[in-house]
Amino acid sequence: MTLLATAYSYLYQFGDSFAYLTLSSLGLAIIFGMMGVINLAHGEFVMCGAYVTILSAKAGLPLPLAMLAGAVSAAAAGAILERLIVRHLYNRLFDSIVATWAVSLITQQAMLIFAGPSIEGLSTPFHSFEFGEYSFSTYRALLPFFSIAVLAALYGLFFKTNYGIYARATIQNARMARCLGLRTSRIYTMTFALGAGLAGLAGAIYAPTISAVPTMGSSFIVPAFVTVVTGGANVLQGIFPAAGFLGLIQSALSASYGQLAGQIGLLLTVIVIIRMLPQGLGSLFNRK
């Protein structure tokens, strides 16, 4: 039983790392991988989702609806940001970096002024369970399955719906899409809002497990960029293997040598992968 419980503890840590890398990176992958915009305000959309979730739940809204409210609020904020700032900076990579970085700093300071250094979080839903000598959180054990469900939903959205066809056409050749009658400006807004909403969803999901502070987005943005760069430009083909492989490395090293070793191993693995596969892990699945 002890050996089996130890094996499950490794599997649990892997699932936790996989879910964290997947959920934190999906929104960034949509915006960066499909739109070519490096969104340094990604962490603030995560923060928006977490704050709205916590405040909505404390106001009496059931937790699933509070999480939905957090994701929708982040999507709305993303649509506003795209219309006011980002749409004027397409094909201007460095300008978009500076602009979204400025938005990130302004948002952090504004939240610090109006909401204070932190707000009281939520209790983790469900109970813990014991396996052998270990105790595990049921909520966190379910997160890998939820992240896979979100990936599957995105696949269906981009490959089984008219929006997906229009979005891929616009992103591949916006001028041709306009000639065919598509309102590309609306497609860009919807796609950016989708990426922001996914970031907000990540914050909403992890709101019961972390402390809500104005700078909480910084703990999400580094793993998000690492996963997206490792996966490559193809969002749906790259995120799953990248999160799986990096999660395996991080969880194995963290379980054996501690959290710091896991972080160092994660970054070293990314360097090796980028050196060997400049197009990312997603390039291994591209059809020739």
Nearest to 37 by CA among 104, 103, 90, 76: 90
Q: Quick one: pLDDT at residue 287? A: 54
In whole angstroms, how large is the CA radius of gyration of the chain? Answer: 19
Question: What are the tokens at 257?
Answer: 């040598």
Kindly state the DSSP code that residue 59 receives in the 8-state scheme.
Answer: T
**Six token digits for residue 158:** 């981009």
pLDDT per position as a tens digit, 150-197: 999 988 888 888 888 888 787 777 778 788 788 888 888 899 999 999
Least confidently predicted of 43-47, 122-126, 266-270: 122-126
With H, G, I as helix, E, B as strand and everything else as coil, classify residue 127: coil
Distance CA 3, CA 254 (A): 18
**What's the CA gap between 86 and 166, in Å, rounded?**
20
Q: Is residue 258 part of a domain?
A: yes
CA 32/CA 24 separation, integer angstroms: 13
Q: For residue 45, what are the CA distances in angstroms to 25, 165, 199, 202, 205?
A: 12, 26, 6, 9, 13
User: Distance of CA 201 to CAs 42, 69, 133, 249, Å?
Assistant: 12, 9, 33, 25
Q: Is residue 127 part of a domain?
A: no
CA–CA separation, 33 and 238 (whole Å): 10
Expressed as residue numbers, the domain containing 217 is 2-119+136-285
Do the domain assignments include residue 89?
A: yes
| Residue 269: C-alpha distances to residues 24, 140, 275 (Å) | 19, 25, 10
What length is written for the chain?
288
Whether 231 is covered by a domain: the verdict is yes
Measure Cα distances from 27 to 13, 45, 175, 220 in Å.
23, 9, 25, 11
Domain count, the chain: 1
Residue 130 lies in a domain: no
Q: Output phi, psi for 120, to 5 deg.
A: -65, 130
Please identify which residue in the block is written with the tokens 């191993």.
Answer: 265
pTM of the model: 0.91
> Does 146 map to a domain?
yes
User: Residue 1 pLDDT more than 80?
Assistant: no
Q: Which two tokens stand for residue 80?
A: 């506003």
Helix axes of 184-206 and 138-160: crossing angle, nearest 10 degrees = 170
The first and second tokens of residue 13, run together, are 């840590």
DSSP 136: E
pLDDT tens digits, one per residue of 59-109: 989 999 999 999 999 999 999 999 999 888 887 878 889 999 999 999 999
Residue 227 has pLDDT above 80, yes or no: yes
Is there a domain that residue 80 lies in?
Answer: yes
